[in-house]
Amino acid sequence: MTIAALAEPPKARARPRTRWKQPSILPGFGLAMGWTLTYLGLLVVLPLTALILRPWELGLSGVWATLTEERVLAALRLSFGTAALAALTNLPLGLLVAWTLTRYEFPGRRLLDAFVDLPFALPTAVAGIALTAIYAPTGVLGEQFAKLGIKTAYAPLGIYIALLFIGLPFVVRTVQPVLQDLDVEVEEAAQTLGATNLQRFWRVVLPSLAPSLVSGFSLAFARAVGEYGSVIFIAGNMPLKSEIAPLLIVIKLEQYDYAGAAAVGLAMLVISFGALLAVNAVQVFLAKRGRA
């Protein structure tokens, strides 16, 4: 053995690469995974599989003819357009409500906090009737809008108002825990460095809230797309004007057009899945950027 060889540091023993992670020390993984797959298969995968397969009874041409009907396209545009607009509007509104409930102490705060959950507990039909009574042409607010020439109930604007009502709690309850856990000392440090209130919010608070805001948007959007009970009372349900896609599915089912109803449902599933994938991609990007 040469002196040079003796001078070389001993090579570290190469550790064998394990392809799979070590199993958890907690028992019952097999049983828990089995029940999880069973429930997901019965409650999620099986119904979605039936929805995907049923429209093709009409054939490719029949499915295409159903989805390209002017009435179907108008209903899809209205449902997804108003859902996205209402979810976007609820972002600043929900952030403002969450900020007020988290950062300020005032009489009645707990009561106001409880009111936020009201759309969760209120039956959707009751919410629809209440909104219609308020925003109808003879209602308290609807009459005032009518004097300005604005039609609220029985119009797309009424659908937008209903979706604002049911979507706001999703944004508030998603953002509120993040605001509560946000370190106030970081904001105070930014203030001592000369940052204004707007700069503190834009550069310190908002980047930490961005992933939760995206989550709140996705939840509000997903709920609004499939909303039925609170919308049909205030929408007016006029084809090509104020008819939502879920109502069109019900109409096709009443006409025993099960394959056509499934075709509309399949279109909603594909569009919703694509939109949620895009939202999740944005959320992952914001989370990685926040850790960088």
pLDDT in tens, 167-180: 999 999 999 998 88
pLDDT at 3 over 50: no
pLDDT tens string 102-156: 988 889 899 999 999 988 888 888 999 999 999 999 889 999 999 999 999 999 9
Provide the pLDDT confidence category of residue 4 given band limits of 50, 70 and 90: very low
In a domain, 64, yes or no: yes
The answer to whether the CB of 229 falls within 8 A of the CB of 123 is: yes
Domain, as residue range, for 90: 58-291
In a domain, 38, yes or no: no
List the CATH number of the domain containing 113: 1.10.3720.10
- Residue 200: per-residue pLDDT: 81
In a domain, 256, yes or no: yes
Q: Which of 173, 158, 75 is nearest to 120 (CA)?
A: 173
In a domain, 6, yes or no: no
Integer angstrom CA distances of residue 70 from 65, 239, 243, 250: 10, 10, 12, 17
- Residue 255: per-residue pLDDT: 92
Averaged pLDDT, 160-188? 89
In a domain, 225, yes or no: yes
In a domain, 159, yes or no: yes
d(CA 88, CA 91): 5
In a domain, 29, yes or no: no
Which of 157-171, 185-199, 236-250 is the least confident region?
A: 185-199
Please tell me the total count of domains within the chain. Answer: 1
Helix, strand, or coil (residue 199): helix
Residue 139 has a CB neighbour count (10 Å cut-off) of 17
Q: What pTM, to 2 d.p., does this model score? A: 0.84
Dihedral (C-alpha) 287, 220, 103, 202: value to the nearest 10 degrees? 50
pLDDT at 13 over 80: no
In a domain, 19, yes or no: no
